[in-house]
Amino acid sequence: MKSTIQVTKSSMPDFEEYIEEIKDLWDSHWLTNMGEKHKKIETSLTKYLDVSNIVLFTNGHLALESAIAAFNLTGEVITTPFTFASTTHAIVRNGVEPVFCDINTEDYTINVNKIENLITERTSAIVPVHVYGNICDVDKIDKIAKKYNLKVIYDAAHTFGVKVNGIGIGNFGNISMFSFHATKVFNTIEGGALTFKDKRLKKKLDNLKNFGITGPESIKSVGGNAKMNEFQAAMGICNLRHIDEEIEKRKKIVDRYFKNLSDIKGVKLLKAQTGIKQNYAYFPVVFDGFKKTRDNVFEELMKNNIFTRKYFYPLISDYECYKHRYNSNDTPIAKYIANRVLTLPLYADLELEDVDRICKIILK
């Protein structure tokens, strides 16, 4: 019986390397509250992501909630239903109403040509989502935001290390949110970050993630608890040492998928964008006119102990908690893709012969 292949597998350093990194925590007993590990990874990530400012969080979701809270957004926010639940939940939990814009057929990011028609006097921001490592039309979104005086908060969970014509993706919009979840290209076990140009935001975001505490006896604002602890930070320090090597391994796997599945009738692959340094975060395949449906392929692979993911499915507007407020038919492209997309296994340690086996089962 063939071994099980999961859709993803967390990148981890050698055991000894991690133990060496955390050893001094037994001397300091400083386990949270922005200790030395936190400071070290914060500095390293600022450099690696090529950004001006960064604030670390215990996870990407609370980072996104804090970004929205930092701007005191009200009314409506234009976003996309083709994303993970976190994006929409973060908006709703801030008391703001999501307005769903459809996606485009080329890269599955928000259709910038449809944003302006959704802007009303209640619109306060745009929350676009970079998808599978592909980026939104950042230039067009910037022009729209300036025209209507809107904030732009990017959900950049999928785009760690991605660059646009040499510029780190975290430099666009007012804030970008990165996820360092265990399943991502780079992880701190759980974790996340916000990057931004306006250095005045740092103090506000630090307060939001730490109860609003500004001193031993001073709490000037309302905040939560979203601090990255020292063990998370230590995992990030170790993983960042190997990140370029990990991305290169992922590239070889993606190249192999393309070699096996390109030019197959009914199998649509997501092509690389021009001028973009990729991170090879996911490998989505859209089955459109293939001899079997997406669900057939999903089930056949599962019979062979190969686990894939219908990502993103269902569409957020079809979730039980939202479908009474939205009609998924209002975003037909997003619905069409959600019903046909399957992300295939992709992680640095995936063997190329396993990629071949996955593709052989699909083509069979």
**Co-location of 175 and 263 in the same domain:** no
Q: Which of 241, 269, 293 is the endpoint of a domain?
A: 241
Q: Which of 241, 272, 290 is the endpoint of a domain?
A: 241
| 349, part of any domain | yes
**Co-location of 197 and 248 in the same domain:** no
- Supply the pLDDT for residue 3: 85
Distance CA(61)–CA(177), nearest Å, equals 9
Single-letter code of the amino acid located at 151: K
- Cis peptide bond N-terminal to 283, omega within 30: no
Single-letter code of the amino acid located at 133: G
Q: How many residues does the chain have?
A: 364
Helix axes 243-261, 230-241, angle to 10 degrees: 60
Q: Which of 241, 264, 283 is the endpoint of a domain?
A: 241
State yes or no: pLDDT of 170 exceeds 70: yes
Distance CA(193)–CA(161), nearest Å, equals 13
**Co-location of 209 and 348 in the same domain:** no
pLDDT tens-digit series, residues 203-227: 999 999 999 998 888 998 999 999 9
State yes or no: pLDDT of 20 exceeds 60: yes
Question: What stretch of H or E contains 123?
Answer: strand 123-127
Over range 182-189, report the average pLDDT.
97
Helix axes 85-92, 60-70, angle to 10 degrees: 40
State yes or no: pLDDT of 133 exceeds 60: yes
**Co-location of 102 and 146 in the same domain:** yes
CB atoms within 10 A of CB 307: 15
Over range 140-166, report the average pLDDT.
98
Q: Which residue has the tokens 């391994």?
A: 249
**Co-location of 316 and 212 in the same domain:** no
Distance CA(258)–CA(77), nearest Å, equals 37
| 356, part of any domain | yes
What does the mean pLDDT of the chain come to?
97
State yes or no: pLDDT of 190 exceeds 70: yes
| 1, part of any domain | no
pTM: 0.97
Distance CA(183)–CA(84), nearest Å, equals 13
Helix axes 60-70, 200-208, angle to 10 degrees: 120
Alpha helices in 175-325 (DSSP H): 200-208, 230-241, 243-261, 294-303
**Co-location of 76 and 121 in the same domain:** yes
Tokens for 67, please give them.
């970004």
| 57, part of any domain | yes
Q: How many domains does the chain have?
A: 2
**Co-location of 237 and 249 in the same domain:** no
Sheet order of strands, 53-57 included: 53-57, 192-196, 175-179, 151-155, 123-127, 76-79, 97-100
**Co-location of 147 and 203 in the same domain:** yes
- Supply the pLDDT for residue 251: 98
CATH number at residue 273: 3.90.1150.10
**Co-location of 233 and 259 in the same domain:** no
**Co-location of 143 and 44 in the same domain:** yes
Tokens for 270, please give them.
């997501």
| 77, part of any domain | yes
CATH number at residue 181: 3.40.640.10
| 317, part of any domain | yes
Look up the domain containing 233 and give its range: 15-241
pLDDT band at 180 (very low <50, low <70, confident <90, very high): very high
| 187, part of any domain | yes
pLDDT tens-digit series, residues 277-314: 999 999 999 999 999 999 999 999 999 999 999 999 99
**Co-location of 223 and 249 in the same domain:** no
- Cis peptide bond N-terminal to 314, omega within 30: yes
Phi then psi dihedrals of residue 49, to 5 deg: -80, -10
- Supply the pLDDT for residue 2: 67
Over range 323-339, report the average pLDDT.
97
Over range 246-255, report the average pLDDT.
98
Over range 255-266, report the average pLDDT.
97
**Co-location of 207 and 250 in the same domain:** no
CA 6 distance to own-chain centroid: 19
| 9, part of any domain | no
